Amino acid sequence: MNRIEKAFSLLKENNKKAFVPYIMAGDGGLEVLVDRLVLLERFGATAIEVGVPFSDPVADGPTIQQAGLRALENGTTLKEIISVLEKAREVVTIPIILMTYLNPIYAYGINEFVKDIRQAGVDGCIIPDLPIEEEEMIAPQLEEVQLELIRLVTLTTPLERIKTIASKGRGFLYMVTVKGITGERKEYDEQLYQFLQLVKQVSPIPVMAGFGISNKHQISEITAYCDGVIVGSKVVDLFEQDDLGELENLMSIFKQESNIM
């Protein structure tokens, strides 16, 4: 049982929901990454998703794309990110999940990548452009060293495929809440809540909702049907604006409104 499983097991025991913020490594410079991770843990994050900047993202909306471009302009590399995360692990106790695309992993070398992120204290990976049909290229290596591959399902994923995907993981299932890219949304279709309920019924592991979630009203509604939320664009925006007070307030409101740990 790695840190991700332990965190969600503890939440379940205490009947609480999870809050996972997303940040882009290298946005603002890699020198601020450790401080931001420490800050998010102090503000109440259950785990933290750390994005790796990539020139051709398939899932990222404008806010996260711009953060990725800023990080690339700063010269951020995957190897440097992993090195900084190893330093962060000395002071950060909650799970760290690395979000990257397949090309950077290929360029790095799959076996080398798995070895290095494990040594750095990373607990899992999200690879949006890796379908389950192709995941044998990396999933066994991750599993061997108890690193979790976080898999995604969407509103258009057939039920039987959802069951298959959910049966493979031990951490949590990432439920994409929109038919599109990341970015803040004013409201969600009623279909989302019905679909979340269905996914929750068939998944043997916790279900986390992400994409577009940015306010306490959305949190309250969505977490009635799942185990927690992943918030990216709003967090990235607040760091870019250097509005740490509003970030703390936002996460405090989420914790209060949704019983998030």
Residue 49's closest CA among 70, 64, 29, 71?
A: 64
Our answer to whether residue 13 is catalytic in this structure is no
Is 257 noted as a catalytic residue in this protein?
no
Annotated active-site residue in 5, 41, 49, 116: 49
The Cα 86–Cα 242 span in angstroms is 25
Q: Which of 28, 24, 67, 31 is nearest to 49 (CA)?
A: 24
Q: What single-letter amino acid sits at 100?
A: T
Token readout for 21 is: 């913020």
Taken in order 231, 73, 85, 54, the sign of the CA dihedral is positive
How far is the CA of 5 from the CAs of 54, 106, 249, in angstroms? Answer: 28, 27, 27
Of 5, 41, 60, 237, which one is the catalytic site residue? 60
Query: Rounded to whole angstroms, how far apart are CA atoms 83 and 67?
Result: 20
- DSSP-derived secondary structure letter, 158: -
Catalytic positions, written as ranges: 49, 60
